Structure 1
Amino acid sequence: MFALPTLAAGRDVQALHRAAAPDFFGWLEHTRAAGACTRPIRLAGTLTAVESGTGRVVEQRHTDELPDRTLYKACGNRRAAQCPDCAWVYAGDAFHVVRCGLTGGKTVPTSVAAHPVVFATFTAPSFGPVHRRHIPRHTCADRRRCDCRPAPCRARSIAGTCPHGQSAACFARHDADDPQLGRPLCLDCYDHDHQVVWNYFSGELWRRTKQAIERHLAALCRRRGIPHVQVSTDSGRVRRVPPVRVSHGKVAEMQRRGAVHFHVLLRLDGVDPDDRDALVPPPAGITVDDLDAAVHAAARQITVVTPPHPDGPQGWQVAWGEQVDVRRIGASDGDVTDGKVAAYLAKYATKSTEITGHCSTRLTPDTVDAYADPEGNHLARLIDACWRLGRPIHHHTSRTVAPAGERQAGLDTTPNAYAGLRRWAHMLGYGGHFLTKARRYSVTFGLLRDTRATYRRAEHDDTADSGDAADTVTVGTLAFVGSGWLTDGDALLANTAAAQRRERRRVGREELAHEAWSGVAA
């Protein structure tokens, strides 16, 4: 019981020792780039300043001359559970990626704000009854502070028990933080194999769904007499393409039961025959009603049948669940706005499997036994299903002795279409990115990072004594030497300084906004 005070005392001593050092303020400035990072990357090597025009080496320094003899860099982890500060930066970038696709800005023309857009939610089907929280009718003023009474969990289920002796009904009114939410009523009845396969192939299901949406709209254009557009390819050939295309931004969210569902922004764009990359409005004959109908039609029709597996000789059917919600951005009710949607998607882009209660790094044969159990709880069975379905599948070869050069062929395994399930067992089978977008939808994360780096470099050049700093480029020859702060005291000081800088920026933005408002009011 004395462990925590001892650790706190040791951290304070380390912080005092660092603060009393003569180069403390230089160390703070040196670690500023990774100040609030939980586990910064430590690099060692050579930093060379080179003239951008001539290539002449102006200055060369080794990291041994820097504080702690290393260079600190933020880890850049997007997951809020791993590094809150890096996830905060990622969420800000995600917000701008999503928002610019709706309103324009940052190289995206503002004319896209007039394009028809819908916000669709695609859910997974049922793999067995689970505990749920359902509110039939909201009477609260703010959903974020909802205090409405939920309905009984599964009071209308068929009375009796399942084949394994578990009750088929649940009369509990679950709280929002009830750990039972998302857990199957009967673990043995629940189809864990089908769920992890669905997670694994959900990316392919979405790809085909988007293709079906575009085909539906192209057929609609033909029926309404809207002609195709002739465009020139990079090779110089002329192609006829549909006059409308769909650009999307997509975020994957993990449900409590461990199945992913997708929140997707779908924007209608036209095609410019002179510039394929131009963002132009769709033809006047195609409206947001048509986009809405295309999404519903594709969600009902598209099904993926997975390859055969020894545990599922016919494969598994991968399709969307019955709950497909489509809302229109900027509708007259004002409930779904571009700002709310962008903030909503940015929030979920920093999350992963934390809501299910499982959070781990990639599993290996040495660590999987700590999480997988065919007789364990819901999460343990999902991980076990990933590991079992992703196992190597061996040939049944004859016992004939083959020549030495051909012996290895008899030891090869049949290609397993589910082999990736082992790689993504820690993600319960889902191996896709949690935020993806079409190339033409909006700006890229790379552009936002480059813009931020350019701004910081210009800010540093403005404060530097050297007048020709802008004419030089710093080239680093660096190697990874470790991750994390050297001491807990260093982490405390760096994180505190970073929090103070963020607070100053926040107050400064509020002051500027107040001055601007005062000037308009005057």
Structure 2
Amino acid sequence: MTVSTLSATPETTTVSGAAPYAEPTTAMRLEWLARSTDLHAQAVARAARDDFPAWLSHVQTASACMRPVRLAGTIATVEAATGRLLAERHTADMPDGVIYKPCGNRRASVCPSCSKLYQRDAYQVVRSGLVGGKGIPEDVARHPAVFPTFTAPSFGEVHTRNVKRHTCARRADCDCRPEPCHARRDFMVCEHGVRLVCFARHAATDRNLGTPLCLDCYDHDAQAVWNLTAGELWRRTTIAINRYVRRLCRARGIPYVATFSASGKLRVVPPVRLSFGKAAEMQRRGSVHFHAIVRLDGVDPADPTAIVSPPVGIDAQDLVDAIDHAAATVGFTTDPHPAAPEGWRIGWGDQILTKVITVAADGEVTDAQVAAYLAKYATKSTEVTGHASTRLTDETVNVYADPDGTHTERLVEACWMLGRPREWWRLRRWAHMLGYGGHFLTKSRRYSITFALLRSNRIAFRRTQTAGPDTAEPAGEPTTLIVNFLEFVGSGWRTPADAMLANTSAQMAREHQNTAREYLTSRAA
């Protein structure tokens, strides 16, 4: 049996041997490009679609995020007074059928865009507590405030970069000549046969910085436990500082204040109140140390929650003395552990430095410098040590833990092995953080504004910017509520081409904003 190869339709061409063929449509070409493994071909396929402008506008809020969260469901507009449904919209009617939300990760190594936004918010939170604004009275600029740094004790000698006197203009670009690391005339040899000497003048980018001279001599167990209990040590330190200042008030005859509690009972409280802000920094050796702000406030008998000036008789030097006293005396012993039946002694190291904060530029350290310093470390984690991982499990811990491996691998191993007892399970939970499980930026309740306030103000601004000022609701109770019935369906962009297009759009928007900001700055000058 034979099958004819002739066309079933009349030939329209006069060329011999030519048969008609189906011309690929634009939709077919776009489908081929979308299935291509070439990133640029995928981007062309997405940009050529009719809904590309709508998609680009839809993903604008999360366009710079590395791993946006995808949500699906319905969004309902409800009348606040009656609960009547006014409008409802489903994400299936939107581009890609989902809503893209920024991940909001604070770590710069995970998402540079979201961490930059977090850093700017942290700067406002810290600085408003020093100079006022955003709801904080501007009188706080005249309150005594200090900037102490609390370090961890030594767990063994490590390679360091010591510059006795800085002559560089910027510490971030320091090119000053450092001293030798561990220069000794006598070549000390530890019990493991390692010479505890190093004549190198380490550069700031040297990978040996923070690593022990002898890995076997270093007390990795004690450092892991210290990281775990650093938050409790900070809590006890703040209590000790408060008690020291209160004793000063009594000794100097500063009268206590009589106020009424929330339940209406009369009580007598100290005439001063301390407000704290703290940022944790992970050192190269894998231990945390704290940069803090301690501000002295007074107490208003009519409104105990108000931020008022402190009474005369207590100044910034008294805060320095209180911090030095607390750092030298506060300490405790942990609960017994099978590896340490008597527990570990927890206390601060010897390198405690406290500077007085001033608003003027001629002081030890200014408010802008402190705010920028704390905001910078609020977006960092363990990357400086060379270790970066998510939360570890029994299946993944062997990738990062090794009892005979590098410094960080031994720290992870110490956390995992010491976390076997039920009472010490938090060591395993925070093994990916080398034992530290606290927040990297914290503050006391009355120090300044909150991140939630900044986020809510930003949301209100964007809604007004999108809908127009005429549609904004008046101040007071809202008349309508937005109720979201959304569920998590994934994270990240659907394709690398989507990520490239969204990030490119975000980069162009940032460049436009920077150009406009520079133009306004030049005109103001």
Tell me whether the two structures share a fold, i.e. TM-score over 0.5.
yes
CA distance in 2, matches of 1:10, 1:515: 46
Task: Give the aligned partner of residue 402 of structure 1.
Answer: none
Deviation at 1:509, TM superposition (A): 2.4
Task: Give the aligned partner of residue 403 of structure 2.
Answer: 374
CA distance in 2, matches of 1:8, 1:295: 63
3-state DSSP class of the match of 1:47?
Answer: strand
Deviation at 1:508, TM superposition (A): 2.0
Task: Give the aligned partner of residue 369 of structure 2.
Answer: 340
Question: Aligned-residue CA RMSD in angstroms?
Answer: 1.9
Structure 1 residue 91 corresponds to structure 2 residue 119: yes
CA distance in 2, matches of 1:8, 1:434: 43
Task: Give the aligned partner of residue 153 of structure 2.
Answer: 125
Deviates more, 1:144-153 or 1:471-480: 471-480
Q: Is the 8 A contact 1:158 1:168 kept in 2?
A: no
Structure 2 residue runs without a partner (length 5+)? 1-34
Task: Give the aligned partner of residue 509 of structure 2.
Answer: 501
Q: Is the 8 A contact 2:282 2:382 kept in 1?
A: yes
CA distance in 2, matches of 1:264, 1:386: 27
Q: Which amino acid aligns with 1:119?
A: F
Aligned length: 487
CA distance in 2, matches of 1:436, 1:141: 30
Q: Which amino acid aligns with 1:12?
A: H
Q: Which amino acid aligns with 1:299?
A: A
Structure 1 residue 205 corresponds to structure 2 residue 233: yes
Deviation at 1:515, TM superposition (A): 3.3
CA distance in 1, matches of 2:447, 2:458: 21
Deviation at 1:114, TM superposition (A): 0.4
Task: Give the aligned partner of residue 243 of structure 2.
Answer: 215
Match of 1:327 among 355, 372, 387: 355
Deviation at 1:507, TM superposition (A): 2.1
Structure 1 residue 445 corresponds to structure 2 residue 451: yes
CA distance in 1, matches of 2:480, 2:514: 32
Q: Is the 8 A contact 2:180 2:199 kept in 1?
A: yes
CA distance in 2, matches of 1:232, 1:108: 23
Deviates more, 1:245-254 or 1:156-165: 156-165
Q: Which amino acid aligns with 1:479?
A: E
Q: Is the 8 A contact 2:277 2:442 kept in 1?
A: yes
Match of 1:356 among 380, 385, 401: 385
Task: Give the aligned partner of residue 520 of structure 1.
Answer: none
CA distance in 1, matches of 2:54, 2:246: 62
- C-alpha offsets along residues 350-374 of structure 1, whole Å, 9 cap, x if unaligned? 0000000001000011111111111
Structure 1 residue 37 corresponds to structure 2 residue 62: no
- C-alpha offsets along residues 421-463 of structure 1, whole Å, 9 cap, x if unaligned? 0000000000000000000000000111011001111111108
Deviates more, 1:187-196 or 1:56-65: 56-65
Deviation at 1:384, TM superposition (A): 0.7
Deviation at 1:335, TM superposition (A): 4.8
Task: Give the aligned partner of residue 19 of structure 2.
Answer: none
Deviation at 1:156, TM superposition (A): 3.3
Structure 1 residue 241 corresponds to structure 2 residue 247: no
Deviation at 1:143, TM superposition (A): 2.5
Structure 2 CA distance for partners of 1:10 and 1:463, relative to 1, 3 Å? farther
Task: Give the aligned partner of residue 420 of structure 1.
Answer: 426
Deviates more, 1:324-333 or 1:109-118: 324-333
Q: Which amino acid aligns with 2:516?
A: G
CA distance in 2, matches of 1:217, 1:280: 17
Q: Which amino acid aligns with 2:342?
A: Q
Deviation at 1:340, TM superposition (A): 1.3
Deviation at 1:142, TM superposition (A): 3.1
CA distance in 2, matches of 1:445, 1:46: 27
Q: Is the 8 A contact 1:157 1:169 kept in 2?
A: no
Task: Give the aligned partner of residue 14 of structure 1.
Answer: 42
3-state DSSP class of the match of 2:381?
Answer: coil
Q: Is the 8 A contact 1:244 1:269 kept in 2?
A: yes
CA distance in 2, matches of 1:191, 1:314: 16
Q: Is the 8 A contact 1:157 1:168 kept in 2?
A: no
Structure 2 CA distance for partners of 1:243 and 1:135, relative to 1, 3 Å? same
Deviation at 1:20, TM superposition (A): 0.2
- C-alpha offsets along residues 130-161 of structure 1, whole Å, 9 cap, x if unaligned? 00000112233332322111111000375220
Task: Give the aligned partner of residue 390 of structure 1.
Answer: 419
| Structure-to-structure mapping, 1:59-458, within 5 angstroms | 59-156=87-184, 159-330=187-358, 333-392=362-421, 415-416=422-423, 418-458=424-464
Deviation at 1:501, TM superposition (A): 1.4
Deviation at 1:237, TM superposition (A): 1.7
Structure 1 residue runs without a partner (length 5+)? 1-6, 393-414, 518-522
CA distance in 1, matches of 2:377, 2:42: 37
Task: Give the aligned partner of residue 17 of structure 2.
Answer: none
Task: Give the aligned partner of residue 512 of structure 1.
Answer: 520
Deviation at 1:50, TM superposition (A): 2.3
- C-alpha offsets along residues 485-507 of structure 1, whole Å, 9 cap, x if unaligned? 00001001111111111222222
3-state DSSP class of the match of 1:442?
Answer: coil
Structure 2 CA distance for partners of 1:243 and 1:467, relative to 1, 3 Å? closer
CA distance in 2, matches of 1:425, 1:187: 19
Q: Is the 8 A contact 2:335 2:343 kept in 1?
A: yes
3-state DSSP class of the match of 1:295?
Answer: helix
Structure 2 CA distance for partners of 1:445 and 1:8, relative to 1, 3 Å? farther
Q: Which amino acid aligns with 2:221?
A: D
CA distance in 2, matches of 1:213, 1:202: 16
Structure 2 CA distance for partners of 1:93 and 1:8, relative to 1, 3 Å? farther
CA distance in 1, matches of 2:255, 2:362: 35
Deviates more, 1:155-164 or 1:353-362: 155-164
Deviation at 1:268, TM superposition (A): 0.4
Deviates more, 1:233-242 or 1:25-34: 233-242
Structure 2 CA distance for partners of 1:289 and 1:334, relative to 1, 3 Å? closer
* TM norm structure 2: 0.90
Q: Is the 8 A contact 2:63 2:502 kept in 1?
A: yes
Task: Give the aligned partner of residue 401 of structure 1.
Answer: none
